[in-house]
Each structure stands twice: as C-alpha cells, then as structure tokens.
Amino acid sequence: MPCEVLAARAAEELQMSPLIIDTDIGVDDAVALRYALLTQDLIGITCTYGNVAVEQAVKNAKALCRHYGVSQPVFKGASRPLSRRPLPLESHIHGHDGLGDYVTFPENSTAPDAVHYLIESAWHYRGELTLCTIGPLTNLALALNLCPELPSLLKEVIIMGGAFGSNGYGGNMTHFAEFNILNDPEAAELVLASTLNLVLIPLDVTMQVQISGEEIARLKDEFLRGITAFYLDFYLKRGGSAGMAVHDALTVSYLNNPGWYQTVTTPLTVSLGGPTDGQTLRPLGRLNVPHDVFAGRPEHKLCLGVQVAEVKEHLLKTLRLQ
Ligand code: BDR
Ligand code: CA
C-alpha cells in the first residue's frame, strides 16, 4: 500500500489535526514537506517568498506533489515583506530554483490566494487546524491583520525562526538575526505579539540536528538525494559542519513528538532596527526593571533543547521508507 495512503489512515486513526505548511520552498522546506506527507495530515501548502521568489515556491510545491503523486492544493502568498525590500534570494545555499537545480519544472506558477485560504481553513476547522511556518512570516501577519479572530481559531502554530545565542548559535544572516525573521521583522513582531498559541524553533535547536552525506546517501528516495546534494555541499564547504541542518523539518518533528523538545515559556519580541535588526529577544534575567518592554505581552513556547538522536532516528527512518 502506498505510503501516502498509510499516512492518511494513520492520521484518521490517531485523529491527527489537519496541518497547513507555509513555505518558501528551499531544500530543507522540501524535506519538511516530505516528512509531513509521511507522518501528518497535510491538507494544503501555502507559499511565500524567501529562499526563492513566491512564483518559484509555487512551482516547487507543485513539482514536489507531482513527484510524490499527491494532490495537496498549493496557494500563492506574499511576494515581498510587509514594508521592506526582500533580502537577496538564497541561491548559493538552495540553488537557483530552491531545490538544488535538480528538478525540471513543467508546472506553472498560478495558484489561488494563500492568505484567504489560511483564514478560510482556520474558520472551517475552528480550533483544530495546525500551521507550520517555515519561511518569512508575512503570510501569517497578513492573515492576522485581516482576521483578528485567528488566534482563537488555530490550534497551534509551529514556527522555524529566530536565534537566541544558546548552544553557540547566533544568527545565520547577521550575528543576531536568522533568515526567516530578518526577511520580515515587522511581520515576525506582529506574530510574536499576538495571542496565537505558538511554538518557536530557533537555530539554537535546528543547528544541532545535522544530517551527514553518508546518511543522505543511504536514503532510498532518489528525489531527496538529488535535491539535497547542492545544499549539503554548501554546509560542508562552509566548514565546521558534519552535515546539513534540516531546520524546517524540525517543525514537523515537533508535531510528531513534542517530548523530544525542551521548551521554556516566555514573552518574545523582535528587534526592528540597528545592528540587532531582526534579532529575536526574550527577557534575559529576573531583575525587576523600571522599563519592561515585555509588559503585557503574551507568553509563548520557545524551544531551546532537543533530543538529537531521537529526532534524527525518526526522521531518517521515515524518509527511508520509500
Ligand atoms: C531558514 O532559512 C531558510 O534558508 C531555510 O529554509 C530555513 O527556513 C533557516 O534559517
Ligand atoms: Ca524555509
């Protein structure tokens, strides 16, 4: 029986909540999507700019679905940040097409509107729907602006983004800022200031889970082996890495077993300028301060620890299935 059918059955049996993934499909996004197809009830893919232009992200989502023989609907969202210019595309990391320049693209880039789909789905599933965001937070911020009820409609939002300097990992764009947040800090600030039930998975955690060339070579999935070659090369050439980080896949891993992640509950904010532009922040100490910039802000779950062996074992075992 095909894996997708098994996954759909398992989802029914476990009464998994429906999941939407919001993505700027680069290589680790594609790994996250494949992992979600095999383990979660993925009902739709909303695209945004980031690693690639939004048009290319739509093509990548369609190419991935076509390759795996699934028909999840694909939607097109923001093509730029709320109020800034987009950062340069990540072609030196993910290839010009975002998928390691390995895939051919007969697909076109037309797709219905992502932000309306997010809002309609949130109303449709009221309290049941989970969202993973693995690109800049522009689509979610736009949805929040249009639909103030969103925090009470979504079950949970798992965000790959940010860096807090623990485990030796600061930002990957500046010493302070991570790519998804720095692409649209204003959108990220709007999301972190909201009462969404959210879990933030920053570089502190995602950089710890590295997949080696040998582990990739053992995957039976030729598509994943093909698209990861360029990305793996980037990590190995940059030095200091034993393999490639699959940042975005950890949002799906968290859904598969939140027990693998250590979280703290804390208010969060984003620096909106200066040398720390795009840095994600939490209160550093316990002293009572006269000017509390976190006063009145909601608390969120922030992951700062991960059981690397368990996360890797489940991810690799699942991806090896086909
Ligand atoms: C994030 O940036 C992107 O390049 C990756 O896809 C991931 O979402 C890591 O900083
Ligand atoms: Ca991404």
pLDDT in tens, 27-59: 999 999 999 999 999 999 999 999 999 999 999
Q: Is the CB of 97 under 6 A from ligand 1?
A: no
Check residue 101 and give its pLDDT: 85
Which region among 86-90, 110-114, 120-124, 229-233 has the lowest average model confidence (pLDDT)? 86-90
What is the 149 CA–ligand 1 centroid distance (Å)?
Answer: 28
Number of H helices, E strands in the chain: 14, 12
Ligand 1 contact, 134 CB (< 6 A) = yes
For ligand 1, whether the C-beta of 26 sits within 6 Å is yes
* SS3 (DSSP) at 127: coil
**Neighbour-count burial for 272-307, b at 16+ CB within 10 Å, e otherwise:** eeeebbbbbbbeeeeeeeeeeeeeebeebbbbbebe
d(CA 21, CA 39): 13
Residue 202: nearest ligand to its CA?
A: 1
**121: helix, coil or strand?**
helix
pLDDT exceeds cutoff 60 at 10: no
Look-up of token digits 């939407």: 20
Mutation pick for ligand 1 pocket among 48, 134, 228, 234 (CB with most ligand atoms within 8 Å): 134
CB 180 less than 6 A from any atom of ligand 1: yes
Ligand nearest to the CA of 244: 1
Domain residue limits, the chain: 3-282+297-320
Q: What is the pTM of this model?
A: 0.94
- Fold type of domain 3-282+297-320: Inosine-uridine Nucleoside N-ribohydrolase; Chain A (3.90.245)
Select from 21, 24, 280 the residue to mutate for testing ligand 1; criterion: most ligand atoms less than 8 Å from CB: 24
Let me know if 247 is a catalytic residue: yes
Residue 212 main-chain phi, psi, to 5 deg? -85, 165
Q: pLDDT over 70 for what percent of the chain?
A: 95
What pLDDT score was predicted for residue 288? 87
Rounded to whole angstroms, how far apart are CA atoms 57 and 194? 27
Atom of ligand 1 nearest to the CA of 173: 10
Q: Which of 200, 180, 181 is nearest to 189 (CA)?
A: 181
Q: Which of 84-93, 256-265, 273-282 has the lowest mean pLDDT?
A: 84-93
- pLDDT over threshold 60, residue 5: no
Residue 27 CA: nearest ligand 1 atom is 6
- Find the 200 Cα to ligand 1 centroid distance in Å: 13
d(CA 126, CA 73): 20
Those residues whose C-beta lies under 8 Å from the C-beta of residue 43, and which sit 6 or more positions away, are 18, 19, 20, 72, 73, 121
- Residue 4: per-residue pLDDT: 53
pLDDT digits (tens, 9 = 90+) for 14-26: 568 999 999 999 9
- Which among 96, 175, 247, 300 is annotated as catalytic? 247
CA of 267 to the centre of ligand 2 (A): 24
pLDDT on residue 311: 98
Q: Is the pLDDT of residue 100 over 90?
A: no
Query: If you average pLDDT over residues 135-146, what whole number do you get?
Result: 98
Is 311 buried (19+), middle (13-18) or exposed (0-12) by CB count in 10 A? buried
Ligand 1 binding pocket includes 247 (Cβ within 6 Å):
yes
Choice from 180, 182, 241 to test ligand 1 binding pocket (greatest atom count within 8 A of CB): 180
Contact 75, 112 (CB under 8 A): yes
